Amino acid sequence: MHKMLIGGSLSAGSRTMDVIDPCTGQGFDQVPDATADDVDAAVAAARAAFPAWRDCGFGKREAVLKEMADAIMANIEELADLLIAETGGPRDLAMFELAHLATGYLNYYGSLRIEPELIVEDDTRRVELHRKPLGVVAAIVPWNAPVFIACNKIAPAMAAGNTVVVKTAPSTPLTTLRLGEILADIVPPGVLNILSGGNDAGATLVAHEDVAKVTFTGSSETGRKIMAACAPTLKRVTLELGGNDAAIVLPDADIQKVAAPIFAFSFFNSGQVCAVIKRLYVHDSLYDAMCGTLATMAKGSKLASGTDADAQFGPVQNKAQYDKVCRYLEQAKRDGKVIAGGEIGDRPGYFVPLTVVRDVAEGHAIVDEEPFGPILPVICYSDIDDVVERANASPFALGGSVWGSDVAAAAKVAARLESGSVWVNQHCALDPAVPFPANRQSGFGVEGGIEGLYPYLALQTLNIAKPQAG
């Protein structure tokens, strides 16, 4: 059984919880189920480690973060095996998460430097703007990309000089716990703490009076609860929540060129990503051709356990999400025309076939809401102004994209979308150096880029009076 990392030591805790294989629906491992005492111990260790980590300087922090990235690469096959076991996803996806995303964010944030800024200087004063670490950061991690999102929070928090307590998702704790075991001899004791456990542990951590900031990725519903829990102590909060990303295919798009990337960015990780395409708007002149091409691609894809070398897509990760996706699937069959997938079958585990639905529009749950699974509604439009208005009508505003042969024209349409990130002829193009903001009910705050470092720092103005003659 993997152990939690608390104050530089590994702890089995006093109780355990099962880890379920999404390919079978059966338990296959156990991990600690953190208690309130475990949370208190982790926060206390982080608080005790904070002054030395805050004062050690950027050079030391860079060395540690880069060594963390190197440790992931040195153990990548073992970590990938664990990630496949707990998510069910294919090996290529696991390797991408570890080798590109997780290490990319650790290396990028380790390289950043924040220096004081001169704001005003004249004969009477010198005013500087300083940015200082906050203290203990609580990082609440979801199940869909557990190692990437953990590192996406750990990296800027530690780079800024904060100490961190990570709480893994209940259904995907294995790889992150194992990473904690690997990092125990790399990160100074207490600077990084990793807990596994259920929702009670997360609630205790979020409400803890010694936590200065909470960073959370997950559903909008849970995000609201976290905001409420942070209110009594006025904790700083970064929330990256749900999305219902719209993609617009313009009438000049080349179906032969754009269909494959649109398919890939719609069904990446079986649709279990906040910023993949969730609503595809296609001009009426291309609608039938796009629907047919996407349906053919979906039917030709292999859905299997990640242990199968030929697997292209894996299962929905957990039973609760599987049940939710199945309900959306039934709604889609009632409200539109399913042209690929749609039937669950009787195989074990939480497998949902890649499903393409046409002849649907706003007012149907499959369009208005976020299934967070492998279901793509394809919606017909005829007028550009109308489709921009429809794309912007969602309460979510995380990402969006526009696809067309005239890149300049596509960019003009994209600029009219109101989501935090907008892409042209691509989607969900995450990069550690590029800010990834969230708008509306998709959350607030920003991750990525130097802008993603600032939420982990407090502003301070230093106003120095100059000696005056006489």
* Sole residue written with tokens 């996806």: 93
Of all helices (H) and strands (E), which one includes residue 178? helix 174-183
DSSP code string of 67-93: HHHHHHHHTHHHHHHHHHHHH---HHH
- 3-class secondary-structure state, position 260: helix
Instruction: Using alpha carbons, list the distances in angstroms from residue 20 to 131, 259, 456.
Output: 43, 35, 34
Sequence-ordered strand ranges (E) for 108-182: 117-121, 125-133, 136-140, 163-167
Sign for the pseudo-dihedral over CA of 199, 201, 206, 208: positive
**Buried b or exposed e, range 113-135, using 16+ CB within 10 angstroms:** ebeeeeeeeeeeeeebeebebbb
Among 210, 215, 207, 211, smallest CA distance to 231 is for 207
Q: What is the 3-state secondary structure (H, E, C) of 377-419?
A: EEEEECCHHHHHHHHHCCCEECEEEEECCCHHHHHHHHCCCCC
Q: Between β-strands 163-167 and 136-140, what pairing exists: parallel, antiparallel or unpaired?
A: parallel
* Of 81, 83, 68, nearest in space to 5 by CA: 68
The DSSP call for residue 135 is S
Dihedral of CA atoms 349, 350, 355, 359 in degrees, nearest 10, equals 130
Q: Which residues are catalytic?
A: 240, 274
User: What is the C-alpha end-to-end distance of the chain, expressed in Å?
Assistant: 74
Query: Which residue in 76, 179, 143 sits closest to 315, CA to CA?
Result: 143
d(C-alpha 290, C-alpha 288), whole Å? 6
Under a CB-based contact definition with an 8 Å cutoff, are residues 245 and 276 in contact? Answer: yes
Backbone angles phi, psi at 409, to 5 degrees: -65, -40
Question: What is the sign, positive or negative, of the torsion defined by CA atoms of 428, 263, 326, 89?
Answer: negative
Q: How far apart are CA 372 and CA 243, in angstroms?
A: 9
Q: Quick one: tokens of 374?
A: 């492998």
Selection from 238, 14, 68, 64 nearest residue 138 by Cα: 238
DSSP string, 273-289: STTS--EEEEETTTHHH
